[in-house]
Each structure stands twice: as C-alpha cells, then as structure tokens.
Amino acid sequence: MRLIELNRDFYTRFGDSFSATRHRIQPGVRRVLELLKGDENILDLGCGNGELARVLAQRRHHGSYLGVDFSLPLLRDAESVPEVFSAKFLQVDLTQLSAFSDQLLAHGGYSLITAFAVLHHIPSHQLRLNILKTVRQLLQPNGLFIHSNWQFLNSAKLTARIQPWDVAAISGSEVDAGDYLLDWRSGGAGLRYVHHFDEVELKELAEASGFEITETFYSDGEGGNLGLYQVWKLGM
C-alpha cells in the first residue's frame, strides 16, 4: 500500500531528526504512568527512540518491557536505556503484527500494551482492525490497552501543514475520510501520512475488535487537546 510505503520511507530517512524532537514524553503519557503499579509486563507498540522505557527505568519499573518498532534509526537510539532496566527491543512492522504474534508471546504475556501516537499512522480500517484483534490476543485476561492519537486538526499551525495528495503522487481515491498528508521540515523536507480519529470512530473500532473503553481524556500541546487518549479493556 502506497501510504505504508510513504511512512516507512519517512521514518527511515528522517528517523534521526524525528528522534531529536522526541526526548521527553507527553503530559498525557505521564498521566498514564500514574495508573501503573510498577510490575506490569509491557509491550510498547511503536516504541520509537525508547523514551518511554527510559522514563520507566527512572521510575524503577520492575515488570518486563518489550518495545517494538520498524524504524532502525529510532531503535538504535532506544538501545541507550539504562542497563538497570530489563528493556528489550525488537524490529517489528506493525502493519504485519499478526505475523509476529508468536514471537511476541515468546517474551511472555502482557498486562499492558501501549501504542502512543501510533494508530494514526496505520492506513485503512481493515488494517487497524487486524492490528487491534492481534493486540487482544496478546493481552492477558485482565490486561489493558492504552493508546493516544494525534488531534492535529485542533491546531491551526499543524492544520496549515496539510498537503494535497498529488504532492506524493497519490490519488484521492486511494485514501479514506480522515486521511491527511502532512509535511515535515526538520533535517530536510518530507511527507508523512496521518489519520485523524474522533471518539466515534475509536468506539466503533473498540467494539469491532472486542474491547470496551474505560477512560477517554485529552492532553498535550499548548491547548491540552493535541492528543486523544483512551484506556481499553477486554470486552465480555
């Protein structure tokens, strides 16, 4: 799929410059960390440069942690997590998550799976649904799935960075409602695909993949509304 290739190329070419802008976790993620007991076995989908793992190490988290991402430049930065924390990292293409499920389960069951600023880079309803169904299989019975999605339309500055699809030689017939193309200006000019979720669409995805939403909140950015966070548990 062209949209997948677009983002794969972006995070390969601009992984280093992107990582340089991600050396602190978002306020919404810090709020999520306050929910933890410290012994959770965590699978971090789209772990990026490992910043979450570094914060967990500072908090003396004593559960296991496995971070997965497809970007080798970001994973190289992730290896700088303090040795006192037993963090592991693995290159995984999230668009093919089900193919890695046995390998991920070999590291143990997960009481918490996170996907911060990840799902909005996954194109197509069916592909998102496939990933969420795999997440369900990887979770322990009482586990939680916590994720955030970028609300860039709440920012006039970010909205101004939306580009027409033809800039990337993509036809409007290849994309869905809520799909956008945003430019990147650090370390060179780039383009990346982003989907804008609202609460209605996330509710439909949760129900279709066998989850129940237990909490929704907004955080991040100057207005405190650039990230839509949700906590999901396994449905009955």
CA distance 30 to 32: 5
Decide if 12 is inside a domain: yes
Decide if 159 is inside a domain: no
Assign residue 124 the CATH number of its domain. Answer: 3.40.50.150
- If one counts the domains in the chain, the total is 1
The model's pTM is 0.92
Tell me if 199 sits within 8 A of 228, measured CB to CB. Answer: yes
Residue 79 has pLDDT above 80, yes or no: no
Residue 2 has pLDDT above 80, yes or no: yes
Decide if 224 is inside a domain: yes
Number of Cβ atoms within 10 Å of the Cβ of 132:
22
What are the structure tokens assigned to 21, written together? Answer: 């802008």
Kindly state the average pLDDT of the residues 97-113. Answer: 89
The pLDDT of residue 173 is: 84
Q: Average pLDDT, whole number, for the chain? A: 89
How does 72-102 read in b/e, with b if 16+ C-beta sit within 10 Å? ebbbebbeebeeebebebeebebbebeebee
Decide if 165 is inside a domain: no
Residue numbers of the domain that contains 97? 2-152+196-234
Decide if 163 is inside a domain: no
The pLDDT of residue 205 is: 97
